[in-house]
């Protein structure tokens, strides 16, 4: 039993040490950025990401450092990562839009239906984790109301608990669906940024296939599927084609 306690204590101390180191490194990176030492700031930010720590603030600051260095594709990549974690942040949106003005390709997106725009804006209010927590809270409330319905001796309380329980159950299922949708968007729909200065998009995963169109570094694409060393991609205007996977960095 004592050995188990010592092991758990060791993990706790390591966890506290890691959190301190990550915070200290983040502070060093911010200080380097403030002193316009952007290469050093990038190095510190990347060190934190290398140990699997991430946050919208971390990616946003890293994007800013890359932007100051003139590395626009890397800036866009990190702004997009920040936006995934914090989709309604005005600062992220503004800096991302500024960075996108610096790239060659100006791709006009296909117009979306109003209902889809509304739905996407709605589920982007919170992160997937936040929606999941809301769903769990509604579920707990449902079980409380269900308990009141079963065990209360007062008919008035039982009626209130019954009808309130139905409403709460609806919100439980609804928020669960929203949380799943948000999680699906973050994980199943793979997006990437082009990191090759100029790349010709092909009609099939073959360098000798027909040329379709050209993309330049910094352009955002959605990955449809991968075959060997090739990826089929789709851009905002609906055009589809193939390019070498090594030309991309996933968001």
Judgement on whether residues 16 and 90 belong to the same structural domain of the protein: yes
Range of the domain at 6: 2-100
Cα–Cα distance for residue pair 184/167, rounded to 1 Å: 26
Cα–Cα distance for residue pair 145/165, rounded to 1 Å: 6
Which of 187, 208, 225 delimits the end of a domain? 187
Cα–Cα distance for residue pair 175/137, rounded to 1 Å: 10
Could you tell me the CATH number of the domain that includes residue 240? 2.30.30.40
Residue 94 reports pLDDT greater than 90: yes
State the pTM of this model.
Answer: 0.75
159 found inside a domain? yes
**CA-based nearest residue to 79, from 70, 69, 65:** 65
pLDDT in tens, 4-61: 444 444 444 445 544 547 889 999 999 999 999 999 999 999 999 998 888 999 999 9
Which of 159, 187, 215 delimits the end of a domain? 187
Which of 147, 163, 187 delimits the end of a domain? 187
pLDDT of residue 5: 40
pLDDT in tens, 98-144: 999 999 999 888 777 788 888 888 888 887 888 999 999 999 999 99
Q: What is the mean pLDDT of residues 171-182?
A: 92
Judgement on whether residues 89 and 8 belong to the same structural domain of the protein: yes
108 found inside a domain? no
Cα–Cα distance for residue pair 36/172, rounded to 1 Å: 48
More confident residue, 15 or 214: 214
- Alpha carbon 214 to its chain's center: 27
Strands 191-194 and 220-227: antiparallel
- Alpha carbon 89 to its chain's center: 12
Could you tell me the CATH number of the domain that includes residue 89? 1.25.40.10
pLDDT of residue 65: 98
Judgement on whether residues 156 and 215 belong to the same structural domain of the protein: no
Query: Domain count of the chain?
Result: 3
Judgement on whether residues 171 and 222 belong to the same structural domain of the protein: no
Judgement on whether residues 176 and 211 belong to the same structural domain of the protein: no
106 found inside a domain? no
109 found inside a domain? no
């Amino acid at each position: 039993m004592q050995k188990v306690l010592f092991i758990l204590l060791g993990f706790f101390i390591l966890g506290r040490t890691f959190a301190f180191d990550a915070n200290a490194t983040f502070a060093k990176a911010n200080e380097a950025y403030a002193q316009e030492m952007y290469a050093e700031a990038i190095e510190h930010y990347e060190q934190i990401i290398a140990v699997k720590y991430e946050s919208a603030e971390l990616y946003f600051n890293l994007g800013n450092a890359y932007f100051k260095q003139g590395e626009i594709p890397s800036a866009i990549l990190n702004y997009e990562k920040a936006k995934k974690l914090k989709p309604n942040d005005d600062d992220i949106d503004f800096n991302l839009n500024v960075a996108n003005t610096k790239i060659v390709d100006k791709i006009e997106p296909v117009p979306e239906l109003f209902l889809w725009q509304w739905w996407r804006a709605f589920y982007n209010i919170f992160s997937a984790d936040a929606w999941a927590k809301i769903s769990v809270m509604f579920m707990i409330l449902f079980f409380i109301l269900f308990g009141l319905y079963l065990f209360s001796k007062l008919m008035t309380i039982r009626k209130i608990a019954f009808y309130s329980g139905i409403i709460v159950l609806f919100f439980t299922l609804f928020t669960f669906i929203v949380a799943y949708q948000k999680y699906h968007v973050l994980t199943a729909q793979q997006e990437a940024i082009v990191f090759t200065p100029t790349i010709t998009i092909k009609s099939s995963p073959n360098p000798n296939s027909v040329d379709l169109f050209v993309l330049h570094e910094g352009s955002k694409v959605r990955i449809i599927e991968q075959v060997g060393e090739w990826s089929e991609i789709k851009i905002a205007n609906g055009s589809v084609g193939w390019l070498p996977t090594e030309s991309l960095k996933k968001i």
